[in-house]
Structure 1
Amino acid sequence: MEINVTVVIPFFVKNEVFVQVLESVFTQSVKPKQLIMPRGVYESPEFRPFKSHWQQQNIQVFDNELSTADAMSFAVKVATGRYITFVERQEYWLPDKLKDQYQFLQDHPSAGSVYSGASSLTDILYKSKPQCLAASDMLINNVSAPENIMLRTSLFDKVCRIEPNSEHFIIWDLGLQMMAANIEQYSLRHLCMPLKVYDDGISKRNWCEYRRVLLKNQRVIENLLGVYEFQYYWYWGLKLTAKSEDKIKARIVTTYATAMMYFYKLRIWIDRENEEPVKTVGPVER
């Protein structure tokens, strides 16, 4: 069975985990309409047994030297599938991943995208119902961490303008932009699982990217969640970054960021307590 989906592998690395990731992509229960991949994957022994499954015109190849962001931009331009999905470095696809996501989008025309949001190996046993993502889910809620997206191809190019220096947060950035455009997004937690479980740390080299995406979407976050929520997420990222460094300076930054998080959390609580209840209009007394 062939589905109207373009699968994009936007990078090439040589390690054992990536080999398992590729095998999970090439052995899906349904066949995607198109594959877009770097030359290194196309010429790899893992893909060789599956080349005969696709006609040559349904395979697009690009240079290994392209960055992830540039590869994704290229893929959107040449994609022929109605929907598009991207392979991630540590994400092992369960056999029905493509089938389930595609069927969900077919059954829900208003949905702009659907994510699998598994965050640990145990999530494979957790069969949750589809969940509409809120702004807080897109930012920090690990229960619905947005990963491994499938969305309408036309929507990706319309909503997301990929910046080459924000590669690690492209999907997160895309999700926030879709939130700003009021496009429905859903999470299907049981569709995918990572091969390796990571903590929530943001490495020092990713801090600049995290900060850039956060600032880019500042107005969106403030409109959806509030000014103090934006500040909270800012110091949350700073704390996790400093926490990954084992130095005295990093410990000072961690302490400072933690204190600021508590401060803004308190401000959020105070503001919510002071909110006036919405008055309901009852029957007019005569």
Structure 2
Amino acid sequence: MPDKVTVIIPTYNRSDSILRTLKSIINQSYRPLDIVIIDDGSQDNTKDVLQPYLAGGDNCTIRYFYQENAGVSAARNYGIKVARGEYISFCDSDDILLPGKIEKQVHYMKQEGADVSYGQVRYKSDTGEYLNHPEPASDDPALQFLFYKTLSPNDSWMFSRELFTEHNLSFRVGCSWGEDNEFLVKALFWAKKAVYFDFCTAEITVGRDDGLSRFSWEKAGRDVYIYEQIRSWLESHAPSEFRRKRYLNTINYYTIPAQVINRVWAGRQDKTGARDTLAQYSAYTSFWNVLRGPLCISKFKMLVKIVLLKVYLH
């Protein structure tokens, strides 16, 4: 019998979109399937909308759990706790999995002997759509992720159950911005083998009024915070001094500067906010800090942005 796959759907007040999400998973060709919906304290009619589907069928179980509002990380962790599958995946309740995603991903992971896999996604908004293009995994996929080379939303990933049980893998509770990046760095760090398969796995909704994609200067601080937490974790878990230094240098001289500078670039029309943010995180965003460490094309682009911002903002 094929290995069971659990798909975890965290949701909060998404009665308008969750059925589209659920149907995209039910309609996957792969079986057996275990769909786990974690309702994070919704105050709308999410449960009523879902009720007709909870009986499941066709070798597909659909289980609904309600918790008092505790955030998306707690909801995902709840889903991991009750998951029954040998493989675990996630799907946000305003996104959809594209046809064949689960079947092809499981097949490829088995074929490659991998415990982590990821693919492309299609971002969709009212103004259009585009694909992301993550790179194939290297021999150090955690480091590669810190260079944003394998960056892809949670919906595109799949993990073996052993990765969670052997390493107590979970999301940071109380954090709703960047928590997925911290989780993915740890998953890639522990993975025996991570693989990329060239397939568009999911459609990601962007631009919702209540979505996390809205611009905010506050997110600069959240970006810095989460990558400082990642840095501390890698510093204490790196298996050698060489890898420890490589992780720390990458985060200090590339990962965090890129997060802040790109956010300032996106919001540069608000000159006051841009100046304040650059000043607040000047230890990371100064030209000389970014210049440290190995140069690459993306770092050169970042240096150009720093110069242009200095001219524009002063």
Q: Which TM class, normalised by the smaller chain length?
A: 0.7 to 0.9
Structure 1: distance between partners of 2:291 and 2:111: 42
Structure 1 outlier segments of 4+, above 6 Å: 197-202
Cα deviation, 1:198-220, whole Å, max 9, x if unaligned, reads 99887444444433321122153
Matched, 1:147 2:154: yes
Structure 1: distance between partners of 2:231 and 2:216: 21
The aligned counterpart of 2:189 is 180
The 1:186/1:146 distance shift into structure 2, 3 A limit, reads farther
2:257 partner amino acid: Y
Structure 2: distance between partners of 1:180 and 1:55: 34
The aligned counterpart of 1:212 is 225
The aligned counterpart of 1:164 is 173
Query: What SS does the corresponding residue of 1:48 show, helix, strand or coil?
Result: helix
1:11 partner amino acid: T
Structure 2: distance between partners of 1:226 and 1:150: 24
Contact between 2:257 and 2:285, CA under 8 Å: does it hold in 1? yes
Matching of residues 1-286 of structure 1 within 5 Å: 3-14=3-14, 16-38=16-38, 43-45=47-49, 48-49=52-53, 51-53=55-57, 58-66=61-69, 67-109=71-113, 111-118=114-121, 120=123, 121-123=129-131, 131-132=136-137, 134-141=141-148, 144-148=151-155, 149-157=157-165, 158-181=167-190, 183-188=192-197, 189-196=199-206, 203-219=216-232, 220=234, 223=244, 225-231=246-252, 232-242=254-264, 243-244=266-267, 247-253=270-276, 260=285, 262-269=287-294
The 1:168/1:177 distance shift into structure 2, 3 A limit, reads same
Query: What SS does the corresponding residue of 1:31 show, helix, strand or coil?
Result: coil
Structure 2: distance between partners of 1:33 and 1:270: 46
Query: What SS does the corresponding residue of 2:200 show, helix, strand or coil?
Result: helix
Structure 1: distance between partners of 2:177 and 2:108: 26
Cα deviation, 1:224-269, whole Å, max 9, x if unaligned, reads 7354421232222223444448644312145556993643342223
Query: What SS does the corresponding residue of 1:117 show, helix, strand or coil?
Result: strand
Q: How many residues align?
A: 266
Structure 1: distance between partners of 2:205 and 2:23: 13
Query: What SS does the corresponding residue of 2:34 show, helix, strand or coil?
Result: strand
Structure 2: distance between partners of 1:90 and 1:261: 38
Structure 1: distance between partners of 2:267 and 2:51: 37
Query: What SS does the corresponding residue of 2:96 show, helix, strand or coil?
Result: strand
Identity %: 15
1:135 partner amino acid: A
2:63 partner amino acid: Q
Structure 2: distance between partners of 1:214 and 1:80: 31
The structure with the larger Rg is 1
Contact between 2:7 and 2:34, CA under 8 Å: does it hold in 1? yes
Query: What SS does the corresponding residue of 1:163 show, helix, strand or coil?
Result: coil
Give how far 1:175 is off.
1.9
The 1:208/1:186 distance shift into structure 2, 3 A limit, reads farther
Let me know the Cα RMSD of the aligned residues: 3.9
Cα deviation, 1:19-41, whole Å, max 9, x if unaligned, reads 43233122212234322113579
Query: What SS does the corresponding residue of 1:51 show, helix, strand or coil?
Result: coil
The aligned counterpart of 1:277 is none
1:263 partner amino acid: W
Give how far 1:5 is off.
0.7
Normalised TM-score (structure 2): 0.68
Q: Which has the higher helix share?
A: 1
